[in-house]
Amino acid sequence: MNTTLFAGLALTLAAPALKERPSKPPTVEGEWTVVEDVTGGKPAGPPRDGPTRITISEGVWECSTAGAPVKWRIAIDLKKSPAEIDFLPDKAGPPTYRGILKVDGDSLVVCYQGGQDRPTEFASPPGSNLSLLTLRRQKPADTPPPGK
């Protein structure tokens, strides 16, 4: 009996450890609320119509407050470091805005500017044309019921 117990213990100790499942890569798709909006080093004031909500889904960035939503086609490359985002015009042509983004849990930070130059860091220095958005992922309990 001791031999069986010893053999079982030896096999258990020698067995390879179970590998953890790789975590899912972060996703930008979902509902977000703007927490901070800075352009050229200056914070934007709070929107008159309530918090700005962003919905990202299937290559579309939809920005809405109490008014009509504004939609942008977007292209995101999460394989780059930092990840890249382009806001595209309705018709063919170069991106209207180029940016970088990072997802950290329930936070999404996007730094962008108009034209051909893509930002290289997450900053909006005074006097620059760089915009820095910090978004917080909405959870089901955070979403107000329709009509409110």
- pLDDT averages per 10-residue partition of the chain, 148 residues: 47 54 73 93 77 90 82 93 91 84 94 92 95 91 53
Q: How many CA atoms lie within 13 A of 106 on its CB side?
A: 10
Residue 133: the pLDDT is 94
Maximal C-alpha separation, the chain: 80
60-64/70-77 β-pairing: antiparallel
pLDDT of res. 11:
47
CA distances from 133 to 3, 39, 43, 67, 140 (A): 65, 9, 10, 20, 22
Taking the CA atoms of residue 44, residue 45, residue 50 and residue 54 in that order, the dihedral angle to the nearest 10 degrees is: 10
Q: Is 110 helix (H, G, I), strand (E, B) or coil?
A: strand
Q: What pLDDT is recorded for position 20?
A: 66
Helix, strand, coil tally for the chain in percent (to 5):
10, 40, 50
Residue with tokens 């805005």: 97
List, as one string, the DSSP characters of 67-89: S--EEEEEEEETTSSSEEEEEEP
Asked whether the bond before 146 is cis by omega within 30 degrees of 0, the reply is: no
